[in-house]
């Protein structure tokens, strides 16, 4: 089903696709940009995109960005993930940007938002060894001291902190009637004294980190928003985080589908292309249908958010994240199965797509949490 895009949006998609084909269109190019797949972000490529004005797509015009909405952001995310551009830092950067835009001081906005337009990366740190889905269980503390706060504790699974300028830290500054009371967001430079960043090796390469805070001083000017109101501020950004992950994974899913389709059209066994056998043909048909459904869902939710940017679409954004991430994992697994041994070989790239999708149903709110949120919106 063809998507109905304006001429301007169609030109944007074409420009991004052309860029990705030119800069990272071959496995040899991607291997060089990513240290043979171990790194998920290439800063030089990222800065080339910044020079084209793309990284400021969702940054307000007053800070040098394009001031575009969710639909345009999703187009950029899908097309860059489809093109396998190694710019993993962009997702966390945009999530952080939204928090600074809504709640930050003017100085914080100038520093972060203008930096994003120029190609700087931002990180967000919420999870802890004992607090993942249960955000209210956070124990990393920021205690008042003269002129600011002293932060002590450990954070984990912090994406991109090892090359980010700042970490948007969620720490506990107090207690309240609810376990979600007393959380505060801070803008912490990654080179701050008392902060140690240690990488975690994963099947997807080097992209997440443990953060260890030991008497790390942050001044009062580092507080983002209102002290103790961090939970409410986090809830205000849920649309964005879930839609970013949905768009990224839908782009990967479409890439896996197209690569699989090319393979089953060309690969012959028993005297004919394997895609002509009913067992594979029907699986291709099912995946194509599911991809169309996911695209319609993503486009519809993005349009709704653009129409009412201040409204939290808890059900719809969770549905988009759930559908697109689960579908991406399914399509890459199916692609590997249909490609047989070649799907398992690094030469063909399907195994890399699989590795990039399996964690997507865990981070940014697990699929189980998304289902719980959706169920609650129906009064269950």
pLDDT score for 183: 95
Sign of dihedral through CA atoms 23, 87, 40, 324? negative
Instruction: Tell me the pTM.
Output: 0.94
pLDDT score for 1: 52
On whether both 223 and 253 belong to a single domain, the answer is: no
Last residue of a domain, one of 187, 208, 228: 228
Average of per-residue pLDDT across 70-90: 97
Alpha-carbon span 132 to 126, nearest angstrom: 8
On whether both 204 and 180 belong to a single domain, the answer is: yes
* CATH code where residue 334 lies: 1.20.140.10
pLDDT per residue as tens digits for the range 125-144 = 999 999 888 888 899 999 99
- The verdict on residue 172 lying in a domain is yes
State the total domains in the chain.
3
In this structure, are strands 195-202 and 183-189 parallel, antiparallel, or unpaired? unpaired
On whether both 51 and 24 belong to a single domain, the answer is: yes
Check pLDDT > 80 for residue 336: yes
Q: Is 324 helix (H, G, I), strand (E, B) or coil?
A: helix
On whether both 201 and 241 belong to a single domain, the answer is: no
Q: Which residues are catalytic?
A: 241
On whether both 359 and 263 belong to a single domain, the answer is: yes
On whether both 244 and 213 belong to a single domain, the answer is: no
* CATH code where residue 134 lies: 2.40.110.10
> Longest C-alpha distance within the chain, in Å?
79
pLDDT score for 2: 59
pLDDT score for 135: 83
- The verdict on residue 241 lying in a domain is yes
Nearest to 330 by CA among 292, 293, 297, 291: 291
pLDDT per residue as tens digits for the range 275-305 = 999 999 999 999 999 999 999 999 999 999 9
pLDDT per residue as tens digits for the range 6-17 = 999 999 999 999
- The verdict on residue 178 lying in a domain is yes
pLDDT per residue as tens digits for the range 3-43 = 789 999 999 999 999 999 999 999 999 999 999 989 999 99
Last residue of a domain, one of 104, 120, 136: 120
Alpha-carbon span 273 to 196, nearest angstrom: 54
Q: Which residues of 348-362 are buried (b: 16+ CB within 10 A; e: fewer)?
A: bbbbbbbebbebbbe
On whether both 63 and 135 belong to a single domain, the answer is: no
The strand pairing partners of 150, in sequence order, are: 143, 217
DSSP letter, residue 136:
G
Name the band, by pLDDT with cuts 50, 70 and 90, for residue 80.
very high
pLDDT score for 176: 82
- The verdict on residue 1 lying in a domain is no
Mean confidence (pLDDT) of the chain: 95
- The verdict on residue 2 lying in a domain is no
- The verdict on residue 85 lying in a domain is yes
pLDDT per residue as tens digits for the range 202-213 = 988 888 999 999
On whether both 249 and 360 belong to a single domain, the answer is: yes
Domain extent for 158: 123-228
In this structure, are strands 122-125 and 166-172 parallel, antiparallel, or unpaired? parallel
On whether both 163 and 107 belong to a single domain, the answer is: no
* CATH code where residue 111 lies: 1.10.540.10
On whether both 130 and 93 belong to a single domain, the answer is: no
Last residue of a domain, one of 91, 120, 149: 120
On whether both 45 and 65 belong to a single domain, the answer is: yes
- The verdict on residue 109 lying in a domain is yes
On whether both 216 and 237 belong to a single domain, the answer is: no
Average of per-residue pLDDT across 164-189: 94
pLDDT per residue as tens digits for the range 207-258 = 899 999 999 999 999 999 999 999 889 888 878 999 999 999 999 999 999 9
């Amino acid at each position: 089903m063809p998507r109905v895009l304006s001429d301007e949006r169609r030109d944007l998609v074409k420009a991004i696709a052309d860029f990705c084909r030119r800069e990272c269109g071959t496995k040899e190019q991607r291997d060089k940009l990513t240290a043979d797949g171990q790194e998920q972000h290439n800063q030089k490529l990222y800065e080339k995109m910044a020079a084209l004005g793309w990284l400021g797509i969702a940054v307000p015009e007053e800070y040098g960005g394009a001031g575009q909405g969710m639909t345009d952001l999703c187009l950029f995310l899908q097309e860059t993930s489809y093109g396998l551009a190694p710019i993993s830092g962009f997702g966390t950067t945009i999530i952080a940007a939204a928090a600074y835009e809504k709640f930050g001081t003017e100085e914080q906005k100038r520093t972060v938002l203008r930096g994003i337009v120029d190609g700087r990366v931002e990180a967000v740190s919420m999870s802890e060894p004992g607090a993942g889905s249960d955000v209210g269980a956070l124990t990393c503390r920021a205690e008042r001291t003269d002129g600011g706060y002293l932060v002590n504790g450990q954070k984990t699974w912090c994406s991109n902190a090892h090359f980010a300028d700042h970490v948007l830290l969620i720490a506990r500054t107090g207690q309240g009637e609810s376990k979600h009371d007393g959380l505060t967001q801070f803008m912490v430079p990654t080179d701050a004294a008392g902060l140690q960043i240690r990488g975690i090796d994963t099947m997807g390469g080097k992209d997440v980190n443990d953060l260890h805070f030991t008497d790390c001083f942050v001044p009062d000017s580092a507080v983002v928003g209102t002290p103790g109101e961090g939970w409410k501020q986090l809830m205000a950004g849920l649309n964005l985080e879930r839609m970013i992950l949905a768009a990224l994974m839908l782009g990967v899913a479409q890439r896996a589908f197209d690569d699989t389709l090319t393979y089953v059209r060309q690969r012959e066994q028993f005297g004919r292309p394997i895609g002509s056998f009913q067992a594979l043909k029907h699986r291709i048909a099912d995946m194509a249908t599911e991809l169309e459904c996911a695209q319609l869902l993503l486009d519809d939710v993005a349009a709704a958010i653009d129409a009412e940017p201040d409204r939290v679409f808890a059900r719809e954004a969770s549905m988009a994240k759930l559908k697109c991430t689960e579908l991406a994992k399914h399509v890459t697994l199916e692609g590997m199965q249909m490609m047989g041994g070649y799907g398992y070989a690094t030469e063909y790239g399907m195994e890399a797509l699989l590795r990039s999708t399996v964690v997507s149903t865990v981070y940014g709110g697990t699929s189980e949490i998304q289902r719980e949120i959706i169920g609650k919106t129906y009064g269950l």
